[in-house]
Amino acid sequence: MTKQQLQKLQAKNIAPLLKRISSLPKIDAKIFFEDSIKILYSHPTSQIEDEIYTLAKDLKPWRKGPFHIGNLHIDSEWQSFKKFDLIAPHLNIQDKDVADIGCNNGYYMFKMLPLSPKSITGFDPSALFKCQFDFINHFIQSKIRYELLGVEDLANYGATFDVILCMGVLYHRTDPITTLKHLSKSLNKEGEVILDTLILDSQEEIVLCPPKSYAKMSNAYFIPSIHALRGWCERAGFDSFECLATIPTDTQEQRKTDWIDSLSLEDFLDPLDSCKTIEGYPAPIRGYFKLKRR
Ligand SMILES: C[S@@+](CC[C@H](N)C(=O)[O-])C[C@H]1O[C@@H](n2cnc3c(N)ncnc32)[C@H](O)[C@@H]1O
């Protein structure tokens, strides 16, 4: 960890958590990359199990997962394997340099390990999610690099990638075309971006711009139709735009569990009409896209 990264974590009073993570004993574990990332180890003492459990609880909220560590099941808010299963057939990453922008706790990065990429680098400015990554990676001991940086830092990062995942980030940006430009400029020749974003179901080139919030997210700024998104991608320098799938988000994929303290999707939809958000907008649909630059 760089000095700058450590300072960021300390500023958010994350240092005590970091210390507990680094004090965990080395454990000889077997890893299974199933729907849940399973970390199995034999002969744990109850003291170690208790420490793992309380540390995992102190690292809440767990948005992405699930994970199993021994007998502990971290039942995250999102069943993230649904998204991973959707993109997996489109991932050509063997021997490639891969980046995951907005990588959260690294769930998708861990899931990519068996696909034998040359390198994986995650970018996410959240100190807490970095701690969750460190906690899980303590057992997996992968060489994944985690940068406490945002998509806006790609331009000065000093490395480019063959494949970039950018999922669940674009609608949180106030500058979506600039964000797409950062992605396109960070690709190597013949590189690919796998993009996932909320979309508006319309045949027109239009964008929903909620003035206050969308599904209670006050940081959701622009939700484009597929036609509008295609135009953004062309302006950002992509030569090819392929829609892989469009899927409504449902309460099986995103739901309240004991591993988050806040509300979840069912509270963000209209109680009388689940086709609408609580604000009266169309309920969430996500689009999955492959973007290429020659
Ligand atoms: C909705 S979550 C999506 C997580 C994951 N990529 C997925 O699709 O399940 C958005 C993530 O973007 C991260 N994030 C926030 N600001 C960011 C930025 N400027 N650049 C990249 N990621 C950012 C958040 O910390 C969070 O982990």
Q: pLDDT value at position 45?
A: 84
Residue 174: which pLDDT band, with cuts at 50, 70 and 90? very high
Nearest CA to ligand 1 atom 2: 168
* The Cα angle at residue 77 between residues 75 and 81, in degrees rounded to 5: 75
CB of 101 closer than 6 A to ligand 1? yes
- On whether residue 102 sits in a domain, the answer given is yes
Residue 237 scores a pLDDT above 80: yes
Q: pLDDT value at position 72?
A: 96
- The size of the chain, in residues, is 294
Q: What is the mean pLDDT of the chain?
A: 94
Residue 27: which pLDDT band, with cuts at 50, 70 and 90? confident
Residue 149: which pLDDT band, with cuts at 50, 70 and 90? very high
- Which tens digits make up the pLDDT trace of 89-104? 999 999 999 999 999 9
Distance 172 CA to ligand 1 centre (A): 8
- On whether residue 203 sits in a domain, the answer given is yes
Nearest CA to ligand 1 atom 22: 102
Residue 4 scores a pLDDT above 70: no
- On whether residue 170 sits in a domain, the answer given is yes
Contact criterion met (CB below 8 Å) for 258 and 216: no
- Which tens digits make up the pLDDT trace of 124-148? 999 999 999 999 999 999 999 999 9
Q: pLDDT value at position 5?
A: 55
- On whether residue 58 sits in a domain, the answer given is no
Rg of the Cα atoms in the chain: 19
Start-to-end C-alpha separation, the chain: 34
Residue 114 scores a pLDDT above 70: yes
Q: Tokens in use for 40? A: 């199995």
Q: pLDDT value at position 1?
A: 54
Helix (H, G, I), strand (E, B) or coil at 61: coil
Residue 32: which pLDDT band, with cuts at 50, 70 and 90? very high
Mean pLDDT within 262-266? 90
Domain total in the chain:
1
Residue 167 scores a pLDDT above 90: yes
Q: For the residues of 152-181, what is the DSSP string, one character each?
A: GGGGGTS--EEEEEEES-GGG-S-HHHHHH
Q: Tokens in use for 273? A: 């009409």
- Residue 173 φ then ψ, to 5°: -100, 135
- Residue 157 φ then ψ, to 5°: -75, -30
Residue 78 scores a pLDDT above 60: yes
- Alpha carbons 38 and 68: distance in angstroms, whole number: 5
Distance 101 CA to ligand 1 centre (A): 7
CB of 151 closer than 6 A to ligand 1? yes
- Alpha carbons 257 and 255: distance in angstroms, whole number: 6
- On whether residue 147 sits in a domain, the answer given is yes
Residue ranges making up the domain that contains 232: 3-12+77-248+285-292
Order of strands across the sheet that contains 67-69: 29-33, 37-41, 67-69, 72-74
Contact criterion met (CB below 8 Å) for 163 and 137: no
Q: pLDDT value at position 93?
A: 98
Residue 43: which pLDDT band, with cuts at 50, 70 and 90? confident
Amino acid at 57: K
Distance 160 CA to ligand 1 centre (A): 19
Q: What is the dihedral of CA 78, 131, 87, 249, to 10 degrees?
A: 20
Of the listed ranges 4-13, 62-71, 130-139, 256-265, the one predicted with least confidence: 4-13
CB of 61 closer than 6 A to ligand 1? no
- On whether residue 92 sits in a domain, the answer given is yes
- On whether residue 136 sits in a domain, the answer given is yes
Query: Closest ligand 1 atom, CA of 152?
Result: 19
Nearest CA to ligand 1 atom 24: 102
Q: pLDDT value at position 219?
A: 97
Residue 6 scores a pLDDT above 80: no
CATH of the domain at 95: 3.40.50.150
- On whether residue 54 sits in a domain, the answer given is no
**pTM tops 0.85:** yes
Q: Which residues of 139-164 are buried (b: 16+ CB within 10 A; e: fewer)?
A: bbebebebbbbbbeebeeeeeebbbb
